[in-house]
Structure 1
Amino acid sequence: MNAEIDISNVKLETERLILRPWRITDLDDFFEYASINGVGEKAGWEHHKNKNESLEILKMFIAEKKVFAIVLKKNQKAIGSIGIEECRHDLNKNLEKLLGRELGYVLNKDYWNKGIMTEAVSKVIDYCFKTLKLNFLIASYFNYNIESKRVLEKTGFKFYKDIIVKTRYNTEEKSTLMFLKNKN
């Protein structure tokens, strides 16, 4: 079910963005948005307390080879990330025979509600379906995170089921799991 992923040599471009592997030199940009209260929490993790915490996570992103940095073309600033994660949720038994992954994303608060995440997610969907030949993608959002819901709806994801997500900071959040099938 979970396809192998290695984005270490992948660079995707949109009108405003470059999606590329993270680099250690992105640490300041990463810490800038990951340390803001309310950013990580909308994605299920606590905001970073210091640069060392961000550095360790950045090293993990680089080693795992499955998380894109979202970089603005105009100034080369890393403003978010999109991970092509392993599917973590119970899915229909028929899907277990197909290749799929789960998308997770986060964006610097200064760039919310500008269509940037929709642009980035659309490009990653295209990459997953046309290049990686995945059969499906899933993604979830906390029910209170209307912005994330809108991104998924705009990029073609459909309701799959209601779920409860246990976060990294020991809360349980009512959430929705969304599904997108490769129609190619």
Structure 2
Amino acid sequence: MNIYVETERLILRQFTIDDAEELHAICNQLYILKWMPDWKISLEERKAWIRWIEKQYSKTTPKTVRIMLAVTLKPNTKLIGMVGVGNKSEVNNEIEIAYFVSEKYNHNGYIGEAVKAMAEWVFSNLKLDYLIAIVELDNIPSQRVVEKCGFTKLETKMVLNSGETEEKPFYYYRMFNTGAVI
């Protein structure tokens, strides 16, 4: 499976090992680590993650999903973030959308554009009934992203999130595939 998605301003594409250093620099920004502490790993671990995710693209099925895409600017292909979908074991193994953008490129609508494009690609290609997003209660920017993209807040759930030791409350959102029979 080769995944390549163009939007008005972005290209979403599969990660390659050549992205390791740029991705590592973005993932080590305090802005990112505040919400995604489990992304704090060494450069060698980041390279291993990229090699692992490269293998996952071809293994994706509607029940087992692990797709992480590089978010790049269209004019110069500069890597600015990540958008992905995958089974979230902490939330009944539902398919979650996750994303981040470098602080330097924040507040430009890039990540919302990427999230919308990713959701459309997933619904068209994997025929899922819905996607979920879980967002910490104080992560207002992320709440805005999912709400602007059409996700609906359904409830607050206690979740033991990846890389953390205690459950805490998250807003639980869903976006339904309007083309699917539910």
Q: Normalised by the size of structure 1, how large is the TM-score? A: 0.83
| 2:178 is equivalent to residue 183 of structure 1 | yes
Residue pair 1:164, 1:172 contacting (<8 A) in 2 also:
yes
| Partner in structure 1 of residue 155 of structure 2 | 161
Residue pair 1:40, 1:47 contacting (<8 A) in 2 also:
yes
Residue pair 2:32, 2:102 contacting (<8 A) in 1 also:
yes
Residue pair 2:158, 2:168 contacting (<8 A) in 1 also:
yes
Regions of 4+ moved over 3 Å = none
- Output the amino acid matched with 2:96: E
Q: Normalised by the size of structure 2, how large is the TM-score? A: 0.84
| In 2: Cα distance, 1:60 partner to 1:40 partner | 21
Q: What is the DSSP-based 3-state SS (H/G/I as helix, E as strand, rest coil) of the residue aligned with 1:120?
A: helix
| 2:151 is equivalent to residue 150 of structure 1 | no
Measured after TM superposition, the shift of residue 171 of structure 1 is 4.3
State which drifts further: 151-160 or 29-38: 29-38
- Provide closer, same or farther for how the CA distance between residues 63 and 144 of structure 1 changes in structure 2, counting only shifts above 3 A: same
What percent identity do the matched residue pairs reach?
A: 27
- Output the amino acid matched with 1:180: M
Measured after TM superposition, the shift of residue 41 of structure 1 is 3.1
Q: What is the DSSP-based 3-state SS (H/G/I as helix, E as strand, rest coil) of the residue aligned with 2:34?
A: helix
- Output the amino acid matched with 2:47: L
Measured after TM superposition, the shift of residue 63 of structure 1 is 2.2
Measured after TM superposition, the shift of residue 46 of structure 1 is 4.6
State which drifts further: 124-133 or 11-20: 124-133
Gap runs ≥5 in structure 2: 58-66
| In 1: Cα distance, 2:95 partner to 2:141 partner | 21
| 2:41 is equivalent to residue 40 of structure 1 | no
- Provide closer, same or farther for how the CA distance between residues 137 and 21 of structure 1 changes in structure 2, counting only shifts above 3 A: same
Match of 2:2 among 9, 17, 20: 9
| 2:40 is equivalent to residue 19 of structure 1 | no
Once the two structures are superposed, residues 84-115 of structure 1 have per-residue CA deviations (whole angstroms, 9 ceiling, x without a partner) of 10143149xxxxxxxx6211112111111110
Residue pair 2:84, 2:118 contacting (<8 A) in 1 also:
no
| 2:108 is equivalent to residue 114 of structure 1 | yes
Once the two structures are superposed, residues 53-96 of structure 1 have per-residue CA deviations (whole angstroms, 9 ceiling, x without a partner) of 321222222222211111111221221111210143149xxxxx
Q: What is the DSSP-based 3-state SS (H/G/I as helix, E as strand, rest coil) of the residue aligned with 1:15?
A: coil
Measured after TM superposition, the shift of residue 136 of structure 1 is 0.7
| 2:82 is equivalent to residue 81 of structure 1 | yes
Measured after TM superposition, the shift of residue 128 of structure 1 is 1.5
| 2:172 is equivalent to residue 172 of structure 1 | no
Match of 1:51 among 40, 43, 53: 43
Measured after TM superposition, the shift of residue 122 of structure 1 is 0.5
Tell me the number of residue pairs that the alignment of Structure 1 and Structure 2 aligns: 168
| Partner in structure 2 of residue 28 of structure 1 | 21
Residue pair 1:37, 1:47 contacting (<8 A) in 2 also:
no
Residue pair 1:41, 1:47 contacting (<8 A) in 2 also:
no
- Output the amino acid matched with 2:68: V
- Output the amino acid matched with 2:46: S
